[in-house]
Amino acid sequence: MIKLKDISKWYSNGSAKAHILRHIDLEIKEGEFASIMGPSGSGKSTLLHIMGMIDDPSEGEYSFEGESVFTLKEKQRSELYKKHIGFVFQAYHLIDELTVYENIETPLLYHKISSSERKAMVADILDRFQIVGKKDLFPEQLSGGQQQLVGIARAVITKPKLILADEPTGNLNSKQGEEIMDLFTRLNKEDGVTIVQVTHSEKNASYGSRIINLLDGKIA
């Protein structure tokens, strides 16, 4: 599904280059549940952002589902990304001004889905995540675990093939973390969603089928 070839990223700092990623070659197959691990500053998040097409490498090739991402035009890339990828963040990143319901609905607006269909889809997912009772609350009225639940619900509502999660349990206690990881496992097993997560925790990584270790911008 994802093929990264010779991906590097650096920032120019005067004459010196600060490398974040060096010559990464990586393949993620459909249906995998991969965990990227490594110490702080090893380039985990950057790698995830590049896979998610919200960040660009300094060099290298990326093909997603056989399409060469960097040769696509901005618009086609955005279409591709919109269709297939869902993001989950450590800090949840819900829109504070919107209710739970509206937060979950937002991606559907950008997918130009009709109002009645939107209603059905949001109702369905609220039900599935057992957060129907919370739908009119604002993010600040929820606990961290609940917010992340909403964040995941928002990521999966468009039925993406790939979920990219950046330390999804980083701000949660261990019990909340377990629930989230269980949810990911179910999504992976039952719905066949490909998941790539960045994590510090061995325990969380053990939920997945594969571990990718990063050190100083290289795959160890």
By CB under 8 A, name the binding residues for another protein: 49, 52, 54-55, 75, 78, 81-82, 87, 89, 91, 93-98, 102, 105-107, 109-111, 154, 158
Nearer Cβ to another protein (137/178):
137
Nearer to another protein, 89 or 207 (CB): 89
Nearest-approach distance from CB 95 to another protein, in angstroms: 5
The per-residue DSSP string of 16-51 comes to: EEEEEEEEEEEEE-TT-EEEEE-STTSSHHHHHHHH
**Tokens describing residue 210:** 């594969």
Q: Between 78 and 174, whose beta carbon lies closer to another protein? A: 78
- Letter for the amino acid at 177? G
> Reduced to 3 states, what is the DSSP secondary structure of residue 89?
coil
- Of 217, 220, 216, 196, which Cα lies nearest the Cα of 23? 217
Smallest gap, in angstroms, from Cβ of residue 167 to another protein?
13
Q: Which is nearer to another protein, 105 or 183 (CB)?
A: 105
What minimum distance in Å lies between the beta carbon of 57 and another protein?
12
Per the listing, tokens 């060469």 go with 68
CB of 54 to another protein, least distance (A): 5
CB 82 within 8 A of CB 109: no
Q: Which is nearer to another protein, 115 or 130 (CB)?
A: 115
Tokens standing for residue 84: 């297939």
Least distance (Å) between residue 131 CB and another protein = 18
